Chain A
Amino acid sequence: MILAVAKNRLFNLRRDRAAFVLAFVLPVAFFSIFAGIFSGSGRSATGRIPVALVDEDGSENSRRLVAALRAEAGLDARTAPATEKAEKNPAPLPPYTAASAEQAVRAGDVPVAVVIPKGFGERPFSFSPGGAETRPTLRVLADSSDPIAPQVLQGLLQRAAMTALPGAMARGGMAEVDRWSGGLTAEQKARMDEALRSIEAPPPPGQPEAPPRARSGSGGLVAVDVRDVVGQAKRNPTVTFYASALGVMFLLFSATGAGGALIEEAESGTLDRILSTRVSMTKLLLGKLVYLAVIGVAQLTLMFLWGWLLFGVELVPHLPGFLVMTVATALASSAFGLMLASVCRTRMQLVAVANLSILLMSAVGGSFYPRYLMSEKLQRFGLLTINAWAIDGFQKIFWRDAPVWSVWPQVLVLLAASAVFLVIARRVAAKWELA
Chain B
Amino acid sequence: MPAAPLPLEIRDLSKSFGGRAALAGVSLTIAPGEILGLLGPNGAGKTTLVRSVAGRVRADGGSLRIFGLDPFANQARSVRGWVPQEIALYPLLSPRENLWTFGRYQGLSDGALEGGIRRSLDWIGLADRADEKTDRLSGGMKRRLNIAAGTIHEPRILLLDEPTVGVDPQSRERIYAMILELRASGVSLLYTTHYMEEAERLCDRIAIIDNGRVIASGTKDELVRNTVGGRETLVVEATAPLPAALAQELIGRGGQVDGATARFSVQAAGDEIRGLLERFHAAGVAVRNLTLKSPTLEQVFLQLTGRELRE
Neighbouring B residues of A274 by C-beta, 8 Å: 105
Assuming A12-B90, A435-B56, is B77 touching A276 (CB within 8 A)? Answer: yes
Cβ–Cβ contact B93 & A273, under 8 A:
no
Say which residue of B58, B100, B150 sits within 8 Å of A434 (CB atoms): B58
Interface residues of A in 271-295 (CB under 8 A from B): 272-279
Please give the distance in Å from B184's CB to the nearest CB on chain A.
25
A263 CA / B86 CA spacing, docked (Å): 15
Closest to B86 in A: A269
Instruction: Return the contact of B101 from the options A4, A275, A276, A434 (Cβ within 8 A).
Output: A4
A151 touches B (CB below 8 Å): no
Considering only residues 11-27 of chain A, those with a C-beta below 8 Å from chain B are: 11-12, 15-16
| 24 residue pairs from A and B, CB less than 8 Å apart | A1-B104, A1-B107, A4-B101, A4-B105, A11-B100, A16-B92, A268-B86, A269-B86, A272-B84, A273-B82, A273-B88, A273-B102, A273-B150, A276-B80, A276-B82, A277-B102, A278-B77, A278-B105, A278-B106, A278-B107, A434-B56, A435-B17, A435-B48, A435-B57
Give B80's nearest chain A residue, CB to CB: A276
Q: Indicate whether A216 reaches chain B with its CB closer than 8 angstroms.
A: no
Q: What is the bound-complex CA distance between A434 and B104, given in angstroms?
A: 22
In the complex, chain B residues whose CB is within 8 Å of the CB of A278: 74, 77-78, 105-107
Q: Which 9 residue pairs across A and B have the least CB separation, nearest first?
A: A269-B86, A4-B104, A277-B105, A269-B88, A273-B88, A15-B92, A270-B88, A435-B57, A276-B54
Distance between Cα atoms of A270 and B102 in the complex (Å)? 10
Measured CA separation A277–B56 after assembly (Å)? 10
Q: Which of A421-435 contact B (CB under 8 A)?
A: 434-435
Task: Please list the residues of chain A having a beta carbon within 8 angstroms of any beta carbon in chain B.
Answer: 1, 4, 7-8, 11-12, 15-16, 268-270, 272-279, 434-435
User: Which residues of chain A have C-beta atoms less than 8 A from B107's C-beta?
Assistant: 1, 278
Identify the interface centre among B55, B80, B82, B90: most chain A CB within 10 Å of its CB.
B90
- Per-residue CB contact flags for chain B residues 143-174 toward chain A (1 = under 8 Å, else 0) read 00000011000000000000000000000000
Q: Other CB < 8 Å A-B pairs besides A11-B97, A268-B87, A276-B82, 12 of them? A: A8-B101, A12-B90, A12-B93, A15-B133, A269-B84, A270-B88, A272-B51, A273-B88, A278-B78, A434-B58, A435-B48, A435-B51
Q: Are B56 and A272 in contact (CB under 8 A)?
A: yes
Q: How many Å lie between the Cα of A278 and that of B77 in the bound state?
A: 6
Q: State A279–B74 Cα separation when bound (angstroms).
A: 9
How many Å lie between the Cα of A16 and that of B135 in the bound state?
12
Interface contact A273-B149, CB-CB below 8 Å: yes
The answer to whether B89 has its CB under 8 Å from any CB of chain A is: yes
Q: Are B56 and A11 in contact, with the CB atoms below 8 A?
A: no
A277 touching B77, Cβ below 8 Å:
yes
Residues in B neighbouring A276, C-beta threshold 8 A: 54-56, 77, 80, 82
Q: What A residues does B93 contact at CB under 8 A?
A: 8, 11-12, 15
Q: With A and B bound together, what is the CA distance between A11 and B55 in angstroms?
A: 27
- Chain B positions within 8 Å of A15 at CB level: 92-94, 133
Please give, as numbers and ranges, the residues of chain A lying within 8 Å of B74 by CB-CB distance: 278
Chain B residues, Cβ within 8 Å of A269: 84-88
CB-CB < 8 A to B88: which residues of A?
Answer: 268-270, 272-273
Residues of A contacting B133 in the complex (Cβ-Cβ under 8 angstroms): 15
| Minimum distance in angstroms from A95 CB to a CB of chain B | 66
Give the shortest distance, in Å, between A62 (CB) and chain B (any CB): 73
> Which residues of the other chain, A, contact B82 by a CB distance below 8 angstroms?
273, 276
Q: With the chains together, A277 CA to B100 CA distance in Å?
A: 13
> Which residues of B in the span 59-118 have a Cβ within 8 Å of any Cβ on A?
74, 77-78, 80, 82, 84-90, 92-94, 97, 100-102, 104-107
- Chain B residues lying within 8 Å of A7, measured Cβ to Cβ, are 104
Residues of chain A within 8 A of B150, CB atoms compared: 273
Which residues of the partner chain B approach A4 to less than 8 Å between Cβ atoms? 101, 104-105
Write the chain B residue with the least CB distance to A8.
B101
Q: Which of A270, A272, A277 has the most CB of B within 10 A?
A: A277
Chain A residues lying within 8 Å of B106, measured Cβ to Cβ, are 277-278
A12–B91 CA distance with the chains assembled, in angstroms: 9
Identify the closest chain B residue to A280 (Cβ): B74
Residues of chain B with a CB closer than 8 A to A8's CB:
90, 93, 97, 101
Query: How far in angstroms is the closest Cβ of chain A from B74?
Result: 6
Closest chain B residue to A432 by CB distance? Answer: B56
Q: Which residues of B contact A434 (CB under 8 A)?
A: 56-58
C-alpha gap A276/B54 in the complex (Å): 6
In the bound assembly, the distance between CA atoms of A269 and B85 in angstroms comes to 9
B92 touching A12 by the CB < 8 A rule? Answer: yes
CA gap between A4 and B88 in the complex, in Å:
17
Q: Which residue of A lies closest to B149 (CB)?
A: A273
In the complex formed, the residue of B with least CB distance to A283 is: B105
Interface positions, chain B 33-68, Cβ under 8 Å from A, are: 48, 51, 54-58
Chain A CB within 10 Å — which of B17, B77, B97, B104 has the most?
Answer: B104
Residue of A nearest to B15 (CB): A435
Q: Nearest Cβ in chain A — how far from B138, in angstroms?
A: 18
With the chains together, A321 CA to B78 CA distance in Å? 45
A7 and B100 alpha carbons, distance in the complex (Å) = 10
Query: Nearest Cβ distance between residue B102 and chain A, in whole angstroms?
Result: 7
Complexed CA–CA distance, A371 and B43 (Å): 58
Docked complex Cα distance between A7 and B51 (Å)? 27
In the docked arrangement, what's the CA distance between A7 and B87, Å? 21
On chain B, the residues within 8 Å of A268 by CB distance are: 86-88
Complex Cα distance, B31 from A216, in Å, reads: 96
Contact residues in B for A12 (Cβ distance below 8 Å): 90, 92-93
Write the nearest CB–CB distance from B98 to chain A, whole angstroms: 9
A429 to chain B, nearest CB (A): 14
Given A276-B54, A276-B55, A435-B57, also A270-B105 (CB < 8 A):
no
